[in-house]
Structure 1
Amino acid sequence: MKALVFLATGFEELEAIGTIDILRRGEIETVTVSVTGHKTVTGVHGIPVIADELFENIDCTRFDALVLPGGGPGSENLNKHEGLRKALVDAYENNRLLAAICASPRVFGSLGLLKGKKATCYPGIEPELTGATLV
């Protein structure tokens, strides 16, 4: 299994680093990807993190899982990245694993990927989970 974890300005540091740590401890090849055009991405609490790769250098189709950490500003910035949005739709259509934490399920909701699915999110984001059964 190979996973991508996407980082945008304003990501929630704990959700990103904790997820990356658990995936790597589980021996899942995990690559962090910046969608900012720069390898250094600053989280919502001002902590800079150096991503492994830039989005434009990654072939998302070669990975089994695409993961979106949360953070209000980070999730909004992920949702604005057209290349990532296209990669998520392609992954969904090809039955690859998609995961989103905290506020980031809003990205899936905006793409219509939650129709008929169970989903949870950060309080207040629920209206953006279009088509989901909220749990």
Structure 2
Amino acid sequence: MSQQLTGKRVAILATHGFEESELSVPKAKLDSQGITVHVIAPDSQGIRAWAGNDWGDTYDVDKPLDEADSTDYHALVLPGGLFNPDTLRQNDKALDFVRHFFEAGKPVGAICHAPWILINAEVVKGRKMTSFPSVAQDLRNAGADWVDEEVVVDSGLVTSRKPDDLDAFCSKLLEEIGEGRHSKQHA
């Protein structure tokens, strides 16, 4: 475990319909480094994953969104999937929670369709990002510089395209968490 990661706390914000690997793999990688990880969701009774072509497992929620305080965390992870980000981007409490990480210069990781949440949180303008290809035009329309790359890092913002990119995504996410606050991270 890296000294830079000792004592770090990371929030994973998700709801029903998140892509299972995009929550389970980053959570396992963060856990393996001794990072405290909390799954935060609007529904405190557990959230159900989407696994490929059907519903997957139900995951425990560590803290309901109504009780979560973004100042308790050093970084944020947003898994994708279709249903999850589409629901969260319409939730004002979720958008406020996300914005805090940008305002505080904290690292944020978003994969697949999760940048939809960032678009609605109004934190993508002028940022170099990637995403699932179908989100590319949405990001461009919101003022982001979209590129088709495995992983993109822009001042503490880590984005990737799909589950196949999880190794690179997790590696860069751990690096950014280790670096801590980023002065150029902005809302």
TM-score (norm 1): 0.92
Question: Hey, what's the Cα distance between the residues in 2 that align with 1:57 and 1:94?
Answer: 19
What is the aligned counterpart of 1:71 among 66, 81, 100?
A: 81
What is the aligned counterpart of 2:40 among 33, 38, 52?
A: 33
Q: What is the percent sequence identity of the aligned residues?
A: 24
Question: Hey, what's the Cα distance between the residues in 1 that align with 2:79 and 2:42?
Answer: 13
Given that 1:35 and 1:54 are in contact with CA atoms closer than 8 Å, whether structure 2 keeps it comes out as: yes
Question: Hey, what's the Cα distance between the residues in 2 that align with 1:8 and 1:125?
Answer: 19
What is the aligned counterpart of 1:102 among 106, 112, 116?
A: 112
Q: Who wins on radius of gyration, i.e. which is larger?
A: 2
Match of 1:132 in 2: 144
**What is the Cα deviation at residue 112 of structure 1?**
2.1
Cα RMSD over matched residues? 1.3
**Residues 87 and 71 (structure 1 numbering): CA distance in 2 closer, same or farther, change over 3 Å?**
same
**What is the Cα deviation at residue 5 of structure 1?**
0.4
TM-score (norm 2): 0.68
Question: Hey, what's the Cα distance between the residues in 2 that align with 1:87 and 1:34?
Answer: 11
Amino acid at match of 1:132: A
What is the aligned counterpart of 2:48 among 25, 42, 47?
A: 42
List runs of 5+ in structure 1 lacking aligned partners.
none
Question: Hey, what's the Cα distance between the residues in 2 that align with 1:31 and 1:111?
Answer: 21
- Answer 1 or 2: higher relative contact order, Cα 8 Å, separation at least 6: 1
Given that 1:4 and 1:33 are in contact with CA atoms closer than 8 Å, whether structure 2 keeps it comes out as: yes
Match of 1:11 in 2: 18
Count of matched residue positions in the alignment of Structure 1 and Structure 2: 134
Instruction: Report which stretch shifted further, 16-25 or 48-57.
Output: 48-57
Amino acid at match of 2:33: G
List runs of 5+ in structure 2 lacking aligned partners.
1-7, 148-187
Question: Hey, what's the Cα distance between the residues in 1 that align with 2:133 and 2:32?
Answer: 30
Runs of 4+ off more than 3 Å: none
How big is each residue's C-alpha offset from its partner over 1:50-78, in whole Å with a ceiling of 9 and x where there is no partner?
A: 12121112111111111110001111111
Question: Hey, what's the Cα distance between the residues in 2 that align with 1:26 and 1:118?
Answer: 27
**What is the Cα deviation at residue 15 of structure 1?**
0.6
Match of 2:97 in 1: 87
Question: Hey, what's the Cα distance between the residues in 1 that align with 2:117 and 2:14?
Answer: 13
What is the aligned counterpart of 1:20 among 27, 42, 45?
A: 27
